[in-house]
Structure 1
Amino acid sequence: MTDPTAQMGFQVGKSAMMAGHDYVEQNFNRYVNVSALKHYFNVSNSYVLNKLFLVLFPWRHKPWSRQQRLSPNGQEGFFLPPREDINSPDMYIPVMAFVTYILLETLLAGLRGAFHPELLGLTATTAFAVVIIEILGLKFGCYLLSISNESQILDLVAYSGYKFVGIIVTIFLSEVLNGGRGTGGWIGWSIFTYTFLANALFLLRSLKYVLLPENSSDNARGASYTVARAQRNRRTQFLFIYSYVVQLIFMWVLSR
């Protein structure tokens, strides 16, 4: 490092790395709000355990409304992060459940002696395709329902990933209780029916406060607006179709 030529080369390399880092960060931030995403990954171990329990057993949970941190002047401020509010959506559980689903499917195939290298890519592609189709559908639904705030859209994307929790439970329990025969038979269908209904109720109650606010305040960081009656009816229909019909189709495809 005492050689002037080496020092100059080190400085050039360092400058190139910094320039590349800045270029990637600027272009990434152009499409993804990193600061907003950090809110959805602010979780704790206790939150993850309690949220998993809530997703699988939502029947007696109350209340479903999210909590907000009050500003110094006493007015409503920002929503609390997931680690401080069990009703706050997160992206940690959906991402981890997505990865776990892929690994579980390939593991079970290996235990049956049916594993081949292409299966990992095929399973990942199928799951990723379902996620992309659902997100595109959510974006289209947000356009039709006049939902333009980024926080509301990110909430919908986060909630779309919780179905993988129920799918993992369905696949695992069906494999164990069916003696390795998969999700077929009345046992598999019974487990699937329960996890589907639990996920549907969880989404129905959770998304109600995103799409159908009870007061005249937008659930997106305190911006106020009024939901017209016709628009509220459309959002109610969208909420029911998304929670039951759409989730039934996608959960059936992924669990089969």
Structure 2
Amino acid sequence: MNPPSYGHSPPLHHPVPQHVSSVPQLRSPPPPVPSQQQSGYGNPYQQQQQQGGASANNFLGQYGQLMNDPTAQVAAQFGQTAFKHGQEYLEQNVNRWFNFATLKPYFQVTNSYVINKLYIVLFPWRHKPWSRKQTPGPNGQEGWFQPPRDDINSPDMYIPVMAVVTYVLLSTLISGLRGEFQPEVLGKTASTALVVVIIEMLVLKLGCYLLGISNQSQLLDLIAYSGYKFVGMIATIAIAELANGGQGTGGWVGWAIFSYTFLANSLFLMRSLKYVLLPESSGGVGGPMATDSRAKRSQRTQFLFAYSYLVQFVFMWALTRV
């Protein structure tokens, strides 16, 4: 028996894949735009830095535009010219009374000079010689002294200036250790030291006028030598304070130390100032001047003795009473 015939079955259709002509590309999302208003836990430093950079760029741009302006250039040139003329006018008028260029050699010191000079000031008993070294001048004449860095007997102003500052600080420190420090102590000590220096300069100026010493370099030498006494006063105050257990410079210990430093300073001045006040021969510009007569030489000897012993004793005693 034949199986029944159901006719022809329809053909099977498979899905045909459709080819896409172009494949879309994947792109990363754009970065988030920083908002002006962030939460309270934002980064304010970054905002300030961005604002500061923008302000700086704006300032540079405005400054560049201003400098390119012809009017601004003329104003800048006028300001530079006015400053230059003002500086020249100031130098000319100040130099009428005092020439600051002459001070430069007095600060030409070295470490070895400072150490050796302090030793000579405190222990002048065996130091020799005391004469200063001379060097030929521009035209070959004699009488030009060498600076402190090349001559240990040359006066300087570095040690006196530093000694004055150290004296003021040391006196203030001792007042603080005793429990007596007040803000006025520092100003009072500095004012007292300054007044003493000014009075001593006036005394030297008067003495130079009466003795006929008109050379400015010799007057500056006298001013430099007047500041070396602060070295002895610093040693007196420091040693007496340690030896007396914080009782100051009173007692026999304080007087013994003061007597030594006073005599050492006086001998140092007597030996050092001899070439200024008692020259033996005349020299060129800036050198020692000749003694006119025996009477003037005697007057200068008396002035040297009075200044080295009497004047120094009064000032050193007054300044060491701390």
Specify the TM-score bucket, using the shorter chain as the normaliser: over 0.9
Which residue number in structure 2 is paired with residue 233 of structure 1? 298
Amino acid aligned to 1:243: S
User: How has the CA–CA distance of structure 1 residues 231 and 26 changed in structure 2, closer, same or farther, with 3 Å as cutoff?
Assistant: same
| Paired residues, number | 255
Aligned equivalent of 1:33, options 87, 95, 99: 99
Query: In structure 2, what is the Cα distance between the partners aligned to 1:53 and 1:117?
Result: 34
Whether the aligned pair in 1 keeps the contact of 2:262 and 2:316 (CA below 8 Å) is yes
> What is the root-mean-square deviation in Å for CA atoms of aligned residues?
2.0
Written as runs of structure 1 = structure 2, the 5 A alignment for 1:106-255 is 106-214=172-280, 216-217=281-282, 221-222=286-287, 224-255=289-320
Aligned equivalent of 1:103, options 157, 160, 169: 169
Whether the aligned pair in 1 keeps the contact of 2:233 and 2:320 (CA below 8 Å) is yes
Query: In structure 1, what is the Cα distance between the partners aligned to 2:283 and 2:220?
Result: 14
Query: In structure 1, what is the Cα distance between the partners aligned to 2:91 and 2:140?
Result: 36
Query: In structure 1, what is the Cα distance between the partners aligned to 2:292 and 2:102?
Result: 25
Deviation per residue, 1:122-179 (Å, 9 max, x gap): 1111111111111101111111111111111111111111000000110111111111
SS at match of 2:206: helix
Q: Which has the larger share of helix? A: 1
Aligned equivalent of 1:63, options 129, 136, 146: 129
Whether the aligned pair in 2 keeps the contact of 1:152 and 1:220 (CA below 8 Å) is no
Whether the aligned pair in 2 keeps the contact of 1:80 and 1:88 (CA below 8 Å) is yes
Deviation per residue, 1:227-251 (Å, 9 max, x gap): 3100000001001111001100000
- Offset at 1:21? 3.3
Which residue number in structure 1 is paired with residue 64 of structure 2? 2
Deviation per residue, 1:154-212 (Å, 9 max, x gap): 11111111000000110111111111111111111111000000000000000111111
Query: In structure 2, what is the Cα distance between the partners aligned to 1:218 and 1:138?
Result: 22
- Offset at 1:103? 1.0
SS at match of 1:148: coil
Whether the aligned pair in 1 keeps the contact of 2:144 and 2:286 (CA below 8 Å) is yes
Query: In structure 1, what is the Cα distance between the partners aligned to 2:86 and 2:136?
Result: 40
Deviation per residue, 1:91-116 (Å, 9 max, x gap): 11111111111111111111111111
Whether the aligned pair in 2 keeps the contact of 1:210 and 1:219 (CA below 8 Å) is no
Aligned equivalent of 1:93, options 144, 159, 178: 159
TM score, norm. by length of structure 2: 0.74
User: How has the CA–CA distance of structure 1 residues 72 and 21 changed in structure 2, closer, same or farther, with 3 Å as cutoff?
Assistant: closer
Whether the aligned pair in 1 keeps the contact of 2:109 and 2:158 (CA below 8 Å) is yes
Flag structure 1 segments of 5+ consecutive residues without an equivalent: none
TM score, norm. by length of structure 1: 0.92
SS at match of 1:66: coil
Query: In structure 2, what is the Cα distance between the partners aligned to 1:83 and 1:96?
Result: 17
Amino acid aligned to 1:198: A
- Offset at 1:9? 5.3
- Offset at 1:16? 4.6
Query: In structure 2, what is the Cα distance between the partners aligned to 1:206 and 1:77?
Result: 16
Moved segments of 4+, more than 6 Å = none
Higher relative contact order (CA 8 A, sep 6+): 1
Structure of greater Rg: 2
Query: In structure 2, what is the Cα distance between the partners aligned to 1:39 and 1:66?
Result: 15
Flag structure 2 segments of 5+ consecutive residues without an equivalent: 1-62
State the percentage of identical aligned residues. 67
Amino acid aligned to 2:292: V
- Offset at 1:75? 4.2
SS at match of 2:144: strand
Aligned equivalent of 1:22, options 88, 91, 113: 88
